[in-house]
Amino acid sequence: MSCEASELNRDRQYCELCGKMDNLLKCGRCRNSFYCSKEHQKQDWKKHKLVCKEAKKGQSLSQPLVQPAVQPAEHEPHQLCGAEKEGEPQKTPAEPECNSASQSADDPGPFNLPADGERMRDFITPADGSGSMSDTKQTRDGIKTNGQTKSRPQKFAMEYIVPCMNKHGICVVDNFLGEDRGLCILEEVKSLYDTGRFTDGQLVSQKSDSSKDIRGDKITWIEGKEPGCEKIGFLMSRVDDLVRHCNGKLGNYKINGRTKAMVACYPGNGTGYVRHVDNPNGDGRCVTCIYYLNRNWDAKDHGGLLRIFPEGKAQFADIEPRFDRLLFFWSDRRNPHEVQPAFSTRYAITVWYFDAEERARAKEKYLTGAGEKGVKVELNKPSEV
């Protein structure tokens, strides 16, 4: 098995509960499902036993079996998993690194996109019409241009966001609201943080402190109607405007709502979020949208890149969390991603948009996300531009 094939095979393996992609354990019965821990396998067992292959054979499934998920080495194409021990996860054997970041003839490095000559700017554009990302100039205090969307939201959505998402699954908009409004939102976020509104980020169904090893952010959930959160509410209305104009054109999705805004802070000190998938189990979330609030961010010094690993591609996309930058990407297994260690305070606001049909199916199967991620709110009314 080639190194590239092994890497792509690993990209299809996720914890069925939380979406984590590292140090996985494989179900010892069906050998098709993966978990990051014995605890998460037990939490998911009520659902998984309905589809576990051994269940169809009528065997006793009172307890799940786990075994390490082994990535076959290139010189061992038929390597098998080690002996199983019921309920006893084993350590994953060491495997050769197949780093998609390495430069080679077969791996051109950070996400150059398809081999038809298109460049990074094909999914990054300024909302103010000032040119490509590379043309966007920054001053010492942040983005130079005021940056309010000059083109009508409907035109911008249909001519840029829709084709970009349908082609690449990732879309970046720079200078989304402009410096003045961006700074007002940043002040609200800082005020929320300073008044103790943030708590440690949690995983779906997470009941222990082990999530700190997976994600290091602190979060709070905001609807936008709370006192002192009016500018965050304005941001959500503007994003809702774009999504409303895209609706029915983003893949086959019919968006009928979203989550509240998850306001997140990585407090520096090397905090990050390991590679994971937002929606590995079909919980209804179809589009992830992130707005960044970090002035004068320099990834070389501050780290904190969002690295996306588009499914089926050897390349990756590095997204810097720049001030007044808006990011869209598919929430499902097509876009595993990670937040690399941040060494300066890093702020972001994230919402997830729901597909009506997938969310209805998830509600029938009790697969909607736990906590605030599972709470649907209606899109805001069209904002005044």
- For residue range 13-69, what is the model confidence (pLDDT) as tens digits? 777 777 776 777 888 788 778 888 888 888 778 778 877 765 555 555 555 655 544
Q: How confident is the model at residue 151 (pLDDT cuts 50, 70, 90)?
A: low
More confidently predicted of 42 and 171: 171
Residue 92 is predicted with a pLDDT of: 36
pLDDT at 325: 96
User: Mean pLDDT across the stretch 186-208?
Assistant: 80
- Which of 78-82, 174-178, 329-333 is least confident? 78-82
Using a pLDDT cut of 90, give the percent of the chain over it.
47
pLDDT value of residue 74: 32
Residue 366 pLDDT: 67
Please report how many Cα atoms fall inside a 13 Å half-sphere around the Cα of residue 181, on the Cβ side.
Answer: 21
Model-level pTM?
0.65
Q: What is the pLDDT of residue 163?
A: 93
> What whole-number distance in Å separates Cα of residue 120 and Cα of residue 315?
12
Are 137 and 128 a contacting pair, CB within 8 Å? Answer: no
What average pLDDT does the segment 183-200 reach?
Answer: 95
Assess whether pLDDT exceeds 60 at residue 176.
yes
For the chain, state the CA radius of gyration: 21
d(Cα 355, Cα 282) in Å, to the nearest integer? 10
For residues 51, 52, 56 and 59, what is the CA-based torsion angle, rounded to 10 degrees? -140
Amino acid at 30: C
Q: What is the pLDDT of residues 224-259, one digit of tens each?
A: 999 999 999 999 999 999 999 999 999 999 999 999
Asked if residue 382 has pLDDT above 80, the reply is: no
Which carries the bigger pLDDT value, residue 122 or residue 272?
A: 272
pLDDT band at 187 (very low <50, low <70, confident <90, very high): very high
Give residue-wise pLDDT tens across range 286-318: 999 999 999 999 999 999 999 999 988 878 899
- In a 13 Å sphere around the CA of 259, the CA atoms on its Cβ side amount to 27
Among candidates 96, 101, 22, 14, which has minimal Cα distance to 316? Answer: 101
Q: What is the mean pLDDT of the chain?
A: 74
Structure tokens at 199: 């708590």
Question: Looking at residue 139, what is its pLDDT?
Answer: 34
Bigger pLDDT: 316 or 96? 316
Q: Which residue in the block uniquely carries the two structure tokens 């440690």? A: 200
CA geometry: angle 254, 312, 333, nearest 5 deg: 40
Q: What is the 3-state secondary structure (H, E, C) of the chain?
A: CCHHHHHHHHHCCCECCCCCCCCCEEECCCCCCEECCHHHHHHHHHHHCCCCHHHHCCCCCCCCCEEECCCCCCCCCCCCCCCCCCCCCCCCCCCCCCCCCCCCCCCCCECCCCCCCCCHHHHEEECCCCCCHHHCCEECCEECCCCCCCCCHHHHHHHHHHHHHHHHCEEEEECCCCHHHHHHHHHHHHHHHHCCCCEECCCCCCCCHHHHHCECCEEEEECCCCCCCHHHHHHHHHHHHHHHHHCCCCCCCCEEEECCEEEEEECCCCEEEEEECCCCCCCCEEEEEEEECECCCCHHHHECCEEECCCCCCCEEEECCECCEEEEEECCCCCCEEEEEECCCEEEEEEEEEEHHHHHHHHHCCCCCCHHHHCCECCCCCCCC
Average pLDDT, integer, range 153-166 = 92
Write down the pLDDT at residue 23.
Answer: 74
